[in-house]
Every structure is written in C-alpha cells, then in structure tokens.
Amino acid sequence: MIKLNTPFRIVLDILILAVIAFIWINSTLPVSDSSALSHGFMDKLLDFLGLDYGDLPIDKEAFHGVIRKLAHAFEFACLGGLFCLRLGKNSAKIAVFTAWGLTVCVAVLDEFIQSFSDRACRFSDMCIDSCGAAAGIGFVLLVIYVIKKVRSRHMS
C-alpha cells in the first residue's frame, strides 16, 4: 500500500490512541452529560447553518438522535482510516481487514464501557460504528488511489 517513515508512524499511533481515548472517555459519561454535550453541539451546528429547530423537517429529539448516530459513525470513520494508514506497510487487503477488525473491537468495547455508565449497550450502535469504520477506510483507500494516479501522471 504505502511506506511510512518512523515519525509519521509515531504521529499515527498518537492520533489513534487519542481517538480511542476520546471515544471511550465519552462512553463513561452519564446519559445526562452525554446528552447535554450533543445538544450543545446540535445548537452550534444549527446556528452555524443559520437554521432554527422550526426549520427542520423532523422534531428536535429525532434530529438529536440523527446527530448522535452520525457522530458515532464519524468517530469510527476517523479511527478506521487512521488504522488503515498505520497498517499501510502491509498489503492493501491485510491493512483493510485488520483496520476494520481493530475498529470493530474498539466499537464493541465502547458499547461494553457504556453499560457501566447506565447507558444502553446497543448492537445497532456497533453496526453504525462498523459502517463508519468501513467508510473511513474506503476514504483513505480512495485518497491513496488518487495520489498514486496523480503521481504516475507526473512521472510519465
């Protein structure tokens, strides 16, 4: 896939650990704190877009649920993409499946951790996280493909 120099691998390792820490720390938050955080983000997002809750085609709580699920998918897309980059010295197949497998393991542990903070451990969340991981990995592969195509055109 791609060859990484040592400093870049260290940076990726730190980013991977930071994303996992972010995910798992948020999983330890009680429902009320987690909900307050996502409601705050939702309010800022609507302000940024110049919208009000009345402008939404769905009610506030349904929109909040969508935002929370998208946040889960995005977190795990980032993690999957980082794992894929970090494992890039291997063949593409090995990097893809290992990155996805590691990210799914983090998702399963994430749901398990949530059960200790009186939050639900949901299979559907694990599926969303797994799909997010696949999307992040796919994005990384697409970027690598485009970079290789651009480089090969400049070489010829």
Residue ranges of the domains in the chain? 6-155
Inter-residue contact 96 to 141 (CB < 8 Å): yes
Report how far apart, in Å, the C-alpha atoms of 77 and of each of 62, 127, 147 are: 23, 12, 20
At residue 2, the pLDDT reads 61
Q: Work out the pLDDT band at 17, boundaries 50, 70, 90.
A: very high
Residue 156: pLDDT band (50, 70, 90) is low
pLDDT of residue 1: 57
Asked if 135 and 77 count as a contact pair (C-beta separation under 8 A), the reply is yes
Taken in order 145, 128, 126, 34, the sign of the CA dihedral is positive
Q: What is the pLDDT of residue 101?
A: 97
What pTM did the predictor assign? 0.87
